[in-house]
Copies of this chain bind each other. A is one copy, B any other.
Amino acid sequence: MASSSAQARLQAIHSHLSIRPCFHRHTIHNDTSTGPADLTRERANASFEIADMTEIILRGKENVVAQSLAFQMIQRDPELRMHQGHNYDLTRDEDREQTLRQVVRTIQLRNLNFETRFNNAMVHAMAFYSEAFWMMFVHDLLFKQTFEFLGTSQQQDKWMGDIKRWRVLGCFAMTELGHSSNLPGLETTSTFDRTTDEFVIHSPTLTSTKWWIGMAGRTATHSVAVCRTLIDGNDYGVNWFIVPLRDRKTGRLFPGVVCGDVGQKASRQGLDTGYIQFTHVRIPRENMLQRWASFTPQGVFRPSPNQAVSYAPLISERFATLRSNLVTLSQSLTIAVRYGAVRRQGAHDEQILDYQTHQTMLMPGVAFIYLLNIVEREVCKKWEQVKEFAQTDAKQFLLELPEQHCVAASFKATMSWYVTEVLESCRRSCGGHAYSAYNAIPGLIGDFGVVTVGGGDNVVLMQQSARFLISALRKAQAGQEVKGSVDYMNDYDRVPLITKTSFQDPRDLLSHELVIDTLKWVSLKKTIELQEILSNAGADFDTIWNAHQTELVRVADIHAWRHFLIIYQCGIQPEKTRKPEAYAMLKKMGQLMSTFVLKRHLDLLLEEGYFDGLHAKLVKQLFLDQCKDLRKDAVALMDAWAIPDFVLKAPIGKYDGDIYPAYFAAVNAAQKSFEPSEYWLKYAAPLVNAPQPTQVEVALTTTLPPVSLDDRKTDKGQERQETWKYESDRRLGMSLSQTED
Contact = CB atoms under 8 A, between A and B. Distances in A.
18 contacts: A22-B200, A26-B228, A28-B204, A50-B717, A51-B712, A75-B729, A108-B687, A177-B660, A182-B346, A252-B676, A253-B674, A266-B437, A427-B449, A435-B449, A550-B624, A607-B616, A607-B617, A665-B733
A248 B689 contact: yes
Interface in A176-230: 177-182, 184-185, 187, 189, 191, 193-196, 200, 202, 204-207, 209, 211-212, 218-219, 221, 228, 230
Given A181-B431, A266-B445, 5 more contacts: A15-B280, A85-B731, A88-B264, A636-B717, A651-B732
Contacts of A15: 191, 200, 280
A343 B450 CA distance: 18
Contact of A662 (B9, B200, B700, B733): B733
Interface in A411-443: 420, 424, 427-428, 431-432, 434-438, 442
A676 B356 contact: no
A54 to B, nearest CB: 7
Nearest to A81: B729
Given A235-B24, A655-B725, A664-B206, A29 B185 contact: yes
Given A662-B734, A705-B65, A187 B266 contact: no
Contacts of A445: 266, 449
Interface stretch (A142-150, A324-332, A472-480, A640-648): A640-648
Interface residues of A, number: 236
Given A202-B21, A616-B606, A704 B66 contact: yes
Contacts of A434: 266, 449, 453
A357 B59 CA distance: 40
Contacts of A681: 251
B113 A696 contact: yes
Nearest first, the 5 A-B pairs at minimum CB distance are A251-B676, A50-B717, A266-B442, A264-B437, A85-B731
B732 A666 contact: yes
Nearest to A345: B182
Interface string A513-528: 0000000000000000
B667 A262 contact: yes
A118 interface: yes
Contacts of A547: 356, 624
A166 interface: yes
A728 interface: yes
Nearest to A191: B22
Contact of A671 (B43, B101, B260, B684): B260
Given A185-B29, A265-B437, A360-B550, A704 B117 contact: yes
Most chain B CB inside 10 Å of its own CB: which residue of A182, A613, A679? A679
A442 B251 CA distance: 32
Contacts of A436: 262-266
Interface string A19-37: 1111111101111100000
A669 interface: yes
Contact of A603 (B68, B202, B606, B644): B606
A296 interface: no
A115 B700 contact: no
A680 B8 contact: no
A671 B606 contact: no
Contacts of A357: 459, 549-550, 553
A169 B233 CA distance: 72
B111 A693 contact: yes
A87 B454 CA distance: 25
A169 B212 contact: no
Nearest to A193: B12
A537 interface: no
Nearest to A117: B704
A689 B603 contact: no
A450 B437 contact: no
Contact of A717 (B117, B253, B639): B639
A679 B97 contact: yes
A160 to B, nearest CB: 14
Contact of A677 (B93, B702, B721): B93
Interface in A550-608: 550, 553, 602-603, 606-608
Interface in A56-94: 61-62, 64-69, 71-72, 75, 84-86, 88-89, 91-93
Nearest to A675: B252
Given A262-B436, A266-B435, A651-B733, A65 B707 contact: yes
A740 to B, nearest CB: 8
